Structure 1
Amino acid sequence: MKSVNIRVTALTATAIMMMLASACGKAEVAPASSSTAPASTTAASTAPTKAAEPVKVIWWHSMSGELGQAVDKLVADFNASQKDVQVQAVFQGTYDESLNKMKASMDTKSGPSLIQVYEIGSRFMIDSKAITPVQKFVDADKFDLSQLEENILNYYKVDDKLNSMPFNTSNPILYYNKDMFKAAGLDPEKPPTTYEEVAKAAQALSKDGKAGASFAIYGWFMEQFFAGQGAEFLNNGNGRTAAATETTLNSEAGLKTLSWWKGMVDNKSVMNLGRKTDDTKKAFLAGQVAMTLDSTASLRGIVTGAEGKFQVGTSTMPKPADAKDGGVVVGGASLYILNNKSEAEQKGAWEFIKFLTTPKTQAWWNVNTGYFPITKKAYDEQLIKDNLAKYPQFQTAIDQLHNTKANKATQGAVMGVFPEARQLVETAIEEALTGKKAPKDALDAASKSIAEKLAAYNKTVK
């Protein structure tokens, strides 16, 4: 495995510090709806040797607000369940801020034992050589990975090795206003699933000063549109068979997607509200647009926000009618164990990770945050069954995840300059939608810039 020069170039530092202000780029705040506590049981097959004082594990995370309260509850329950390991959760700001702080602590002992890192930081974490891959503990403990969701695990596996444990996981889905569908003569129980159907529905829904849809200019969505077509976003197996050197952004998949999107903006059936998902969400809840794209972690908040105003429907991420087998790529973040800590601390972090994967803990996490359970048996818990009865729209997200075909496209792209790449993709989309550049010219320019960033980053990796 390659290693990264600790004295990273200014380019790489910039890549780490780029701020992503949306559902997957930073911690999503989802409302809590249950006070039911998770199970407080944990396996002990690899528990640290019992000492006079418990092993202290420092966990850096980026969950604020009600999500932060949920994290604190998980930690309190784990600490109360046994005496050998005590976890201390420390909020470190956004994903970008937390990762930058970790980088600054790599030559010292001041950093954490465990850190939550967003999915687009995966390549950097591997290249940094600062982690002990979770696979080491999985193998030593004979931990059964088959109990976890394959399509979630796949993102965090490189060379068939699990580097981190998924923690908060989400996908994007299509949200639509059932009442507006009825008023437009559309079947509210048959939402659009293809580019062509979305375009046709958007035109029918655009009337009385309201638009058929609005999709935030978000790089994550473009990555999902590629995966839905079974198309890889980067060369070299999406950066998984070898370090990526260029993007396929300006390929047929990218051009087809951006041309479709721009066509709807041009005929005014889709409203361009810019880059923030908060803005498209507000427009949707205000009844100004009939369809939007957003994270599954926003589902409960959207359904609750629409109560008394209209019924919310959900559908899968749209794709071309002739798309190849594909699906969605997981978003969110995972947990990495740092290798500059003692063996006892690392094993303690692993014990906490195992606690987090138990069905009851995962059921509680799902119900209180909206994130997917990573453990299959969590769906057997009554807590989740009751929640699905209350929010049946979430079944769309579950089915979309389970129906995703496992391949390099849906496994997701990995690159060391992902934050910068997303910004460049968003600029290209923005230029095309506003008419500043033709779709192909915008995608060509972004592809060239991303290739330059990749070349510079790859030089820092020995």
Structure 2
Amino acid sequence: MKLRSKKGLWSLAVAAIMLATTACGGNPETGAGDKGGSSSSGQKKVVFWHAMGGSNTKVVDQLVADFNASQDKIKVEAIFQGTYDDLLSKLKASMGSKDGPSLVQMYEIGSRFMIDSKTITPMQKFIDEDKFDLTQLEPNITGYYTLNGKLNSMPFNTSNPILYYNKDLFKAAGLDPEKPPKTFEEVQKAADAITKTGKATGANFAIYGWFMEQFFANQGAEYVNNGNGRTSMATESTVNSEAGIKTLTWWKEMIDTKAANNLGRKTDDSKKAFSAGQVGMILESTASLKGLVDNAEGKFQVGTGFLPKPANAKEGGVVVGGASLWIMNDKPNDEQKAAWEFIKFLTSPKEQAYWHINTGYFPITKKAYDEQSVKDNLKKFPQFQTAIDQLHQTKLNTATQGAVMGVFPEARQIVEGAIEEVLNNKKSPKDALDAAAKEITSKIQQYNKTVKQ
């Protein structure tokens, strides 16, 4: 499931890239001061920092335990470091010291920073040395983390947004519960019909920058210039392009006509309203599917559909969200290779099947879908087939690979502010997005000036 970044977190990103800072002291609970190297038993030790909280912590711990039990040369120690933002802050503080991890999980919008920090060894190095077959992995997932033909990190927890809808409310509104709306226009029509029944509000979309990014990709539109920051570093935001204005105009019309309501930025509030039968449709991560289906049990049937787009939009698709694994280059070569061995273990079909079933994230390995446990899980949750089909039908290009910029967390917050201004009748879609594009562009250019090429 996607986690949000706090506004202003990256205001110190420049300093983190250009200056080596001393490590934070840490404490026994976070393990921020733990080191890699060799354990007392002579095994090579790999310290793995991650941000998988809640029940997902147990899943990570089990994968680590399984790897450690599978061989006696390497010992991985997984340390939960809090939210993605907490982890990033601790990683920045550890740069230039010996107190950082061997392997770190970083959210996808932190990719540009990780590359520019010059603190990582590209995953491609180990792939080439080991002749690792990349074709066994999902290309639409590895595509996000590939820049200039080089895979920089290994995808770990991966999700997409899909449309969730209440089949019972569809029936009550005279809609076909087996035909989810595919376009903006169809969503608006269905939402309006549900609202008019008086049983619920037609739709709710949390004010989440990730959704706007996905709407761009689904229209085949780039979020920043220079090939979405992939042919060369982005220098300008294009959030005020036709794709953005069209999306926000539609969103505003939904609110104005009562076809949808505004519950703010928290996706949890949107999910709660859906589970309570108060709204007929929401957008949410594929990783939320099991929870939403379980919460609706005995109350209503949950349907799923592709992320909608305007009628006659360019061919597009969805961008992967989530996080990936990065190997830090300040560790000895044998420690980096040990981290790579753990990563290879994680990509095996069996481990990917376990990860998928217990977290809801996509398997990154194609053959994981051949595992009986995955087949059984799909029978139990057939709604996930929508997510699989949407991922596989997405054609990989610079739009669907996703944007790359060093100030992405801040940009996401700025866009969310623009959406709020429009939905609260403070600005028109064009004025709000023009202002957002200007502010994001300024931050991109400030960031770029500090990066050593």
TM-score, normalised by the number of residues in structure 2: 0.91
Shift of the alpha carbon at 1:99? 1.2
Partners of 2:172 and 2:14 in 1: how far apart? 48
Partner of 2:11: 11
Query: Which piece of structure 1 moves more, 209-218 or 139-148?
Result: 209-218
Partner of 1:429: 419
Partner of 1:25: none
Partner of 1:31: none
Q: Structure 1 residues 268, 336: closer, same or farther in 2, change over 3 A?
A: same
Shift of the alpha carbon at 1:104? 1.0
CA contact (8 A) 1:51 1:84 kept: no
Q: State which of 163, 167, 171 in structure 2 corresponds to 1:174.
A: 163
Shift of the alpha carbon at 1:291? 0.2
Partner of 2:72: 83
Partner of 1:329: 319
Partners of 2:106 and 2:10 in 1: how far apart? 20
Partners of 2:15 and 2:444 in 1: how far apart? 11
Deviations 1:354-379 (A, max 9, x none): 00000010001000000000000000
Partners of 1:261 and 1:193 in 2: how far apart? 15
Shift of the alpha carbon at 1:52? 6.6
Structure 1 vs Structure 2 CA RMSD: 1.7
Partners of 1:124 and 1:425 in 2: how far apart? 20
Aligned with 1:265: secondary structure? helix
- Give the partner amino acid of 1:229: Q
- Give the partner amino acid of 2:364: I
Where structure 2 has 5 or more consecutive residues not aligned to the other structure, the ranges are: 1-8, 17-36
Partner of 1:453: 443
Aligned with 2:48: secondary structure? strand
Q: Are 1:374 and 2:364 counterparts?
A: yes
Shift of the alpha carbon at 1:49? 12
Partners of 1:94 and 1:50 in 2: how far apart? 28
CA contact (8 A) 1:12 1:417 kept: no
Shift of the alpha carbon at 1:254? 0.4
Q: State which of 289, 295, 304 in structure 1 corresponds to 2:285.
A: 295
Aligned length: 423
Q: Are 1:145 and 2:134 counterparts?
A: yes
- Give the partner amino acid of 1:100: S
Partner of 1:240: 230
Q: Structure 1 residues 12, 323: closer, same or farther in 2, change over 3 A?
A: farther
Aligned with 1:87: secondary structure? strand
Aligned with 2:273: secondary structure? helix
Partner of 1:95: 84
Q: Structure 1 residues 14, 243: closer, same or farther in 2, change over 3 A?
A: closer
Partners of 1:340 and 1:348 in 2: how far apart? 14
Deviations 1:322-366 (A, max 9, x none): 111110000000000000001111000000000000001000100
Q: State which of 307, 320, 327 in structure 2 corresponds to 1:317.
A: 307
Partners of 1:210 and 1:380 in 2: how far apart? 40
Shift of the alpha carbon at 1:193? 0.7
Q: State which of 39, 44, 54 in structure 1 corresponds to 2:43.
A: 54
Q: State which of 208, 216, 219 in structure 2 corresponds to 1:229.
A: 219
Where structure 1 has 5 or more consecutive residues not aligned to the other structure, the ranges are: 1-8, 17-47
CA contact (8 A) 2:10 2:410 kept: no
CA contact (8 A) 1:12 1:457 kept: no
Q: Are 1:184 and 2:173 counterparts?
A: yes
CA contact (8 A) 1:168 1:333 kept: yes
Aligned with 2:368: secondary structure? helix
Q: Structure 1 residues 282, 386: closer, same or farther in 2, change over 3 A?
A: same
Shift of the alpha carbon at 1:459? 1.0
Deviations 1:12-39 (A, max 9, x none): 43999xxxxxxxxxxxxxxxxxxxxxxx
Q: Structure 1 residues 50, 136: closer, same or farther in 2, change over 3 A?
A: farther
Partners of 1:319 and 1:10 in 2: how far apart? 31
Partner of 2:63: 74
Give me the identity figure in percent. Answer: 71
CA contact (8 A) 2:38 2:44 kept: no
TM-score, normalised by the number of residues in structure 1: 0.90
